[in-house]
Structure 1
Amino acid sequence: MNVVITGANRGLGLGFVKHYLQQSASVWACYRSDAGELASIGSERLHTVCWDVGSDEHPQGDLPDTIDLLINNAGIYGPGKDGQSLNRVTGKAMLEVFNVDCVGPLRVVQLLAERVIASKGVIANISSKMGSTSDNSSGGTYAYRAAKAGLVIVSKSMAVDLAPHGVHVITLHPGWVMTDMTHNTGLIDVTTSVAGMSAVISDARNYPAGEFVAFDGKTVPY
């Protein structure tokens, strides 16, 4: 099984790397600039690739000819909560977060779609319940919410467009996870989130194409 993961040098991405290596998969772990803990993982099935998904530049490294699972995990939060308030958020911040969190996964799929089609594989796009209008009762966080909401729509279009080729696309909410992005606050740890999302991925074809699903298997209202 060939697995490609973006944003794989820390947090959820690194958790996915460790999970699929334990499942005896061959893993291509992509990172923007610093390999981080990936450099200390000693496995012949791990391949590291420098790839900034926020750029139109191609990855600096080889990727497999066939991909069974592509996980678009790379993302940024942008300015802190105060910097994303109604009075303070800037157009620059909005565009920077949208570029990485929404356009980034699209860039990745545009480049790798034929390789996923070759395996009739699965694409999992990591969004967030923060992008759900139904779940938004606190306002604020304009850049991150908008980018993650946009990714749900992009993911759905991917699902429709790739379904005739045997590729199944699903959108995932990881939960509120203790990572660097959340300053290690949260309700669950990385291992719990990754285990849950991996179970959903394994069962992806039992969900409608493009469905927005949380780590616990429940559909997220959009």
Structure 2
Amino acid sequence: MSGTILITGSNRGLGLEVCTQFVRDGWRVFACCRNLDSADALKSLQAAHPRLELIQLDVTNQAQMLSLGEALKGEAIDILLNNAGYYGPPGVCFGKVDRSEWCRVLESNTIAPYMMSETFCDNVAASDHKVIAMMSSKVGSIADNRSGGGYIYRTSKTALNQVVKSLSIDLRERGIAVIALHPGWVKTAMGGPGALITAEQSVNGLKKILLEADITYSGRFYDYDGSEIPW
């Protein structure tokens, strides 16, 4: 199949790889990133694939988001992939939590994906495929937490998973499937060089899930290999 996908956080890592794979498959891709001036890889990709449309968007800037919503009014979006996020300071353990950084991470990782979903749900509902996907993380799984710590990033993804669950209920009547995705431990700027898989390997799996997803997938949490992760 082909269609239209909107991706946030597209200028590097997983977001860039998602853009690459979908545009090569003939999709129309709205690639959003915070600073287009430094998005050299995206610009190079666009030169070879005119169906890639570059959009400057800081997902924590509500005015920018609403402006984009108006600009894309009436455009059907088959997949809305909320990929943009912020890890925050590394190694956050008990007694070392920075309140302001916690707020910043929650704004990027939890609140912004919800607001994107609210802003563009009409576009998704007007499409054939009707999928909203959140880039979550296995560290947000309460059932999987056996090591403690990581308060800032963990909680942002746990809260995001709750957003996914509620949206899956609220948007079911509109036929929209809402899913959470774990990309694996990926060799990106966030994952580091010691990670287990490449961005290409991760996105190969994520793309399969995104293309197969229908309403029966909604309200569930998937690893990049297709297996389901407990909340």
Q: Into which bin does the TM-score normalised by the smaller protein fall?
A: over 0.9
Q: What is the TM-score with the length of structure 2 in the denominator?
A: 0.91
State the percentage of identical aligned residues.
Answer: 37
- Residues 71-92 of structure 1 show CA distances to partners (whole Å, capped at 9, x for unaligned) of 00000100111xx111111211
Q: 1 CA distance for matches of 2:101 and 2:123? A: 33
Tell whether 2:88 aligns with 1:78: yes
Alignment size in residue pairs = 220
Q: Judge conservation of contact 1:28–1:63 (CA < 8 Å) in 2.
A: no
- Residues 6-40 of structure 1 show CA distances to partners (whole Å, capped at 9, x for unaligned) of 00000000010001011100000000124241011
Residue 17 (structure 1) aligns with: 19
Q: 2 CA distance for matches of 1:176 and 1:11? A: 12
Cα distance, 1:207 vs. partner?
Answer: 4.2
Cα distance, 1:208 vs. partner?
Answer: 3.5
Structure 1 portions without partners, runs of 5+:
none
Q: What secondary structure is seen at the aligned counterpart in 2 of 1:58?
A: helix
Out of 170, 191, 195, which is 1:182 matched to?
191
Q: What secondary structure is seen at the aligned counterpart in 1 of 2:126?
A: helix
- Residues 173-215 of structure 1 show CA distances to partners (whole Å, capped at 9, x for unaligned) of 0011110012232111000100101111122127441100100
Q: What is the TM-score with the length of structure 1 in the denominator?
A: 0.94
Residue 52 (structure 2) aligns with: 46
Tell whether 2:121 aligns with 1:113: yes
Out of 30, 35, 41, which is 2:39 matched to?
35
Tell whether 2:141 aligns with 1:132: yes
RMSD value, Cα: 1.5
Aligned residue identity for 2:187: M
Q: 1 CA distance for matches of 2:28 and 2:133? A: 17
Residue 7 (structure 1) aligns with: 9
Q: What secondary structure is seen at the aligned counterpart in 2 of 1:57?
A: helix
Structure 2 portions without partners, runs of 5+:
none
